Structure 1
Amino acid sequence: MSTESTAYAADLEAIHQVVATVEHSQQHKDPDEFLSLFHPDAVWTTSGGRVLLGLDAISEFTRAVLPAADWDGKVTYEVVHVSFIRPDVAAVKVRQLYSTSGEEGAPLYVMSKQDGRWLLTACQNTGVVTG
């Protein structure tokens, strides 16, 4: 296996791990774990369309909303597609499924690699409308 393909596989695995950590943090309603995944200058758009600029705004929103969420924590996140925009930037399409309600989300995470670590940098959390 070439060094390039080994690095690509390692980056894919690291991206999958970030999404797995998002899932874990949501299931356990753990704002600290969730916030540890963000670039300090990140942009987050909530499923309701609220735009949060920077880690401070994302943190304030997350700390108020995540622990108080009225759902049971049964949610899964699955990486459906990864497109490398450049070696240190990736667009990641995710399928989010709440098992109890059957609601589905289709987040898009733009991640950037900082000091060898993949971080959420520009994200849009979009609900899927059925019917």
Structure 2
Amino acid sequence: MTTETASAKAAADADADLRAIAEVVATVERTQRAKDPEGFLTLFHPDALWTTAHGKVLIGFDAIAEFTRAVLPAATWDGDVTYEAVHTQFLRPDVAAVKVRQVYHSPAGDTEGAPLYVMTRQDDGRWLLHACQNTEVRAD
């Protein structure tokens, strides 16, 4: 394989990873809108760590699942929520830090969150949420 060919392959692989990561973020959006805890939970690594926007720390899939199943179906918001991967930094080829813009749109006005998702690529090529911190953005 020539240097040019290897470089083109690496760029194609990075593009495929970026698309796969964006799809995970899009699935977060879809499952949040649908209040679908089971769909949401398929996105997590078994050893995941999740910190909510209000500082609740959930360690491991079981804790995340228990919280999500209790909270998400009953979540109330007046409007829609959107998620967008605004920056992805590969820490290693199989580990990415993903900055997300989360906006709750409502008649009373938009509120914003700024999650950080550390995602890992699995042996089967899937990207999963591994260590995540959601942060409420306050308008000061």
Query: What is the TM-score normalised by the length of structure 2?
Result: 0.91
**Higher helix proportion, which one?**
2
Q: Mean alpha-carbon deviation: is it higher for 1-10 or for 50-59?
A: 1-10
Q: 2:126 aligns with which of 110, 117, 128?
A: 117
Q: State the secondary structure of the residue aligned to 1:47.
A: coil
Q: Which whole-Å CA distance do the structure 2 matches of 1:127 and 1:81 have between them?
A: 18
Residue 107 in structure 1 maps to residue 119 in structure 2: no
Q: State the secondary structure of the residue aligned to 2:16.
A: helix
Larger radius of gyration: 2
Query: What is the TM-score normalised by the length of structure 1?
Result: 0.97
- Residue segments in structure 2 that go unaligned for 5+ positions in a row: none
TM alignment of 1:16-95, pairs within 5 A: 16-72=22-78, 74-95=80-101
- Residue segments in structure 1 that go unaligned for 5+ positions in a row: none
RMSD, aligned CA: 1.0
- Residue equivalent to 2:103: 97
1:71 Cα deviation (Å)?
1.1
Deviation track 1:31-89 (CA, whole Å, cap 9, x = no partner) reads 01100000000000001101000000000000000000111461000111000000000
